[in-house]
Amino acid sequence: MTLNRKLLIQRGGEGHRGPSLPPCDVPVKPLAELLPGVPLRASLALPQVTEPEVVRHFIALSTLNHHIDKGLYPLGSCTMKHNPKINDELASLPGLALSHPFAGDEANQGSLRVLRELQKALAEITGFAAVTTQPVAGAHGEMTGLMLIRAWHRSRGEGEKRTRVIVPDSAHGTNPASVHLMGWETVTVPSGPDAGVDIEKLRAVLDERTAAIMFTVPNTLGLFERNIREITAMAHAVGAQCYMDGANLNALVGIVRPGDLGFDVMHINVHKTFSTPHGGGGPGGGPVAVAAHLEPFLPAPVVEEQDGRLRLVHDRPQSVGRVHAFNGNFGILVRALAYISTLGPEGLATMSRNAILNANWLKARLAKSYELPYPRHCMHEFVLSGRGLKKHGVRTLDVAKRLLDFGVHAPTVYFPLIVEEALMIEPTETETLDRLEHFAEAMEQIVREAAETPDLLHGAPHTAPVTRLDEGRAARELQLTWRTPAPAPGRTAAPAGKA
């Protein structure tokens, strides 16, 4: 029985205060004089709590999380790798953290240098001509990339007719959602038996209405599309552009460059490949890299260098416009550049090689106890099917929940949609063989438990701060703020211990 977990609004009260502000050392005029006739609010129901209690509240909450510094986090497609601490330190240097985009280029040479160096490095890594660092997430990058494609088609007078984007059925949900944001239509092509896209079906839908194809490389099964260059060539042949979803770039760095595979544009998730911490949901960074023909359309402003001085150039008549109020997630980009600089050219290549090695090792091991729908060498991740456990009444969701009891996070589940009961596993290169073995043992034990004690899995997790949560009730009752009444109180457990 620790102190009941309460929301902060239920703690403290009048007289409780956090850190104080400097005294107001300018003339203290009545607000009514400074804000004449302005309607002010009557009440403000924020908590009043002391610093010690605020600290305890949030530290207690923090301990309820799984996180990469706690253990394996094999979320497929998310590249949950170690986040070096130095990167956070650098991003919080006062000269960077306090720099203001409207202070002018003269005042911001350091910040502009970060953007410039990162853009150069990303262009080199991806094999493209130019990079914008304005988009702040993968999906934001997708939208930006599609806008660039639209602008290019328009510049060629084809803006009206090209309104379809071809997306494989294994694609991430943001792809069709981004297409929709353009007012365009998504055309889904199915995957063939080898998990590559079905070329003939693709050919059938490619035409002069096609604005772009949008492929994830390697795809969300962790497999490299063998025919990728034929595919991009086919698309180009009908005048379409080729967009690469770069969420899986961690498999490719130093091995092959998307620009060399026929793509015209891609986004990069720096919160995946370049290790910027995910922050419980964000912030990330979604820079977009483009071939030369798309460069004129990049969001303004762009960074240019002349005689060692950097400046933001706004005068970009063909630009699609701004996609962010300022310069993108700068603090995140500092981290990405620091990461790239730490690894260096060889380290970057080793990163991808080790990501591939780790994934293949784990795949080879787990293929003995789980179904492997596509038995090929994988790149940085692979997808298993939990279908074989259904006979015991066990589903992939149960496997996922049970894994939590082993101190590891669950893989991505039920995605990609084309694999039944999918378990999408991405160990990343920063895990040791020890960790992979432990994960494999857990997965193997779960297979045994499915046969022997399936209820153990249905009831999992058993060691997490809470058991399975009623998501249906959440959606029905819509308790979305603390103003809504709390659900019927749970049992208050007496302290554990056998009397």
Partner 1 sequence: MLRDIGVAAFEDLVDAVPADARLKRPLRTPGPLSEVELRRQVGRWSESNAAARAVSFMGAGLYDHYIPSAVNAIAGRSEFATAYTPYQPEVAQGTLTVIFEFQSMIAELTGCDVANASMYDGSTAVAEAALLARSQTGRARIVVAGALHPNYLDVLRTYLDGKGLTVVTDKGGQCAPEDLQAALGPDVAAVVYQHPNFYGLLESPRTLHRLAHGAGALAIAVCDPVSLALLDPPGAAADGDPGADVVVGEAQALGNPPSFGGPLLGFFACKLGLVRRMPGRIVGRTVDTQGREGYVLTLQTREQHIRREKATSNICTNQGLLATRATIYLSLMGREGMREVAEQCVRRTHRCLELAEAIPGYRRAHDGAFFREFALECPVDAAVVCAAGRAAGVLPGVDLGQFRPAWKRWLLVTATEQRSAEDIDRWAQVLRTAGGAR
Ligand X SMILES: Cc1ncc(COP(=O)(O)O)c(C=O)c1O
Q: Which residues bind a second copy (CB under 8 A)?
A: 1-3, 11-12, 16, 19, 50-53, 55-56, 59-60, 63, 68-71, 82, 84-86, 405-407, 430-432, 434-435, 438, 442, 445, 453, 455-456, 459-460, 462-463, 495-499
The yes or no reply on residue 315 touching partner 1 (CB under 8 A) is no
Residue 358 exposure: Cα atoms within 13 Å on the Cβ side? 28
In the list a second copy, ligand X, partner 1, none, the entry touching 467 (Cβ below 5 to 8 angstroms by class) is partner 1
Q: Name the minimum Å distance from CB 176 to ligand X.
A: 11
Q: What's the rounded Cα separation, in Å, for the pair 490 and 1? A: 14
Integer-rounded Cα Rg, in Å, for the chain is 26
In the list a second copy, partner 1, ligand X, none, the entry touching 455 (Cβ below 5 to 8 angstroms by class) is a second copy
The yes or no reply on residue 453 touching partner 1 (CB under 8 A) is no
Q: How crowded is residue 62: how many other Cβ atoms within 10 Å of its Cβ?
A: 10
The yes or no reply on residue 304 touching partner 1 (CB under 8 A) is no
**Applying CB under 6 A, which part among 56-64, 137-145, 255-263, 419-427 lies near ligand X?**
137-145
Is 459:452 a contact under the CB 8 Å cutoff? Answer: no
Q: Out of 87, 99, 111, 216, which residue is the one contacting ligand X (CB under 6 A)? A: 216
Name the nearest CA neighbour of 240 among 270, 202, 276: 202
Closer Cβ to a second copy, 86 or 233, answer by number? 86
Q: Name the minimum Å distance from CB 119 to partner 1.
A: 12
The yes or no reply on residue 225 touching ligand X (CB under 6 A) is no
Distances (CA, A) of 190 to 231, 239, 267: 14, 22, 23
Q: What's the rounded Cα separation, in Å, for the pair 70 and 406? A: 12
Q: Name the minimum Å distance from CB 405 to a second copy.
A: 5
DSSP code, position 75: B
In the list ligand X, partner 1, a second copy, none, the entry touching 442 (Cβ below 5 to 8 angstroms by class) is a second copy
Q: What's the rounded Cα separation, in Å, for the pair 234 and 242? A: 10
Q: Name the minimum Å distance from CB 68 to partner 1.
A: 4
In the list partner 1, ligand X, a second copy, none, the entry touching 435 (Cβ below 5 to 8 angstroms by class) is a second copy
Q: How crowded is residue 158: how many other Cβ atoms within 10 Å of its Cβ?
A: 16
Beta bridge partners of 168: 189
Closer Cβ to partner 1, 332 or 384, answer by number? 332
Q: How do strand 265-268 and strand 288-290 relate by DSSP bridges?
A: antiparallel
**Applying CB under 6 A, which part among 33-41, 133-141, 298-306, 402-410 lies near ligand X?**
133-141
Torsion over CA of 474, 475, 480 and 484, rounded to 10 degrees?
-70
